[in-house]
Amino acid sequence: MCMAAEIRCTCGSKSASFHFRDNILSDQTVRTLYCPACSSDIRIDPVCMIVDNGWVIEYDMDIVQFEGHKIPRSPVTPVILFDEGYCTWNGIYPGDHLDSVREREQIVSLMKSNPTRYIQEMKSWAQQRMARLQGEGWRKAQGGGSSC
């Protein structure tokens, strides 16, 4: 089971939905979230930050150490937090959990009327979508990162 939380970026113009694998960490794990607009002038510190396609997550590593004693990897790094799903996007990118539902709506309508076409369309959509997200540079689409 994963806990989810919506966190706003520092400029306040965007937000991202996060999930927290096995409820080991809380939303306090994210010290600061920077969207592409507010991340352009910050200095990236790989000890506590991860960059994904212009978005930057700054983790509070003190809270990670306090709450993350159940994470089986040591030392726990931002790469482990993000790529292994302990504190990562809810989906492939911020907002993916909403966009993917909207994109699938038309395909799902085929389920009752034409199940064979439904399966074909769903496979095609998933493959094309992942190829597009890989091309856009999203970290999870490149093979890094897990989801709930």
Query: Is residue 147 situated within a structural domain?
Result: no
| Structural domain that includes position 128 | 96-142
Of 37, 36, 60, the closest CA to residue 49 belongs to 60
**Token representation of residue 70:** 């159940």
Q: Do residue 112 and residue 68 come from a single domain?
A: no
Q: State residue 64's pLDDT score.
A: 96
Q: Which residue has the higher pLDDT, 102 or 2?
A: 102
Band (148; pLDDT cuts 50, 70, 90) = very low
Q: Do residue 16 and residue 82 come from a single domain?
A: yes
Query: Is residue 148 situated within a structural domain?
Result: no
Q: Do residue 104 and residue 85 come from a single domain?
A: no
Compute the distance between CA of residue 39 and CA of residue 144 in angstroms, rounded to an integer. Answer: 21
Query: Is residue 66 situated within a structural domain?
Result: yes
Band (147; pLDDT cuts 50, 70, 90) = very low
Q: Which residue has the higher pLDDT, 89 or 97?
A: 89
**Strands, DSSP E only, in 22-139?**
30-34, 49-52, 55-59, 88-89
Residue position matching structure tokens 């080991």: 24
Q: What percent of the chain has pLDDT over 70?
A: 95
Query: What domain count does the chain have?
Result: 2
Compute the distance between CA of residue 31 and CA of residue 67 in angstroms, rounded to an integer. Answer: 14
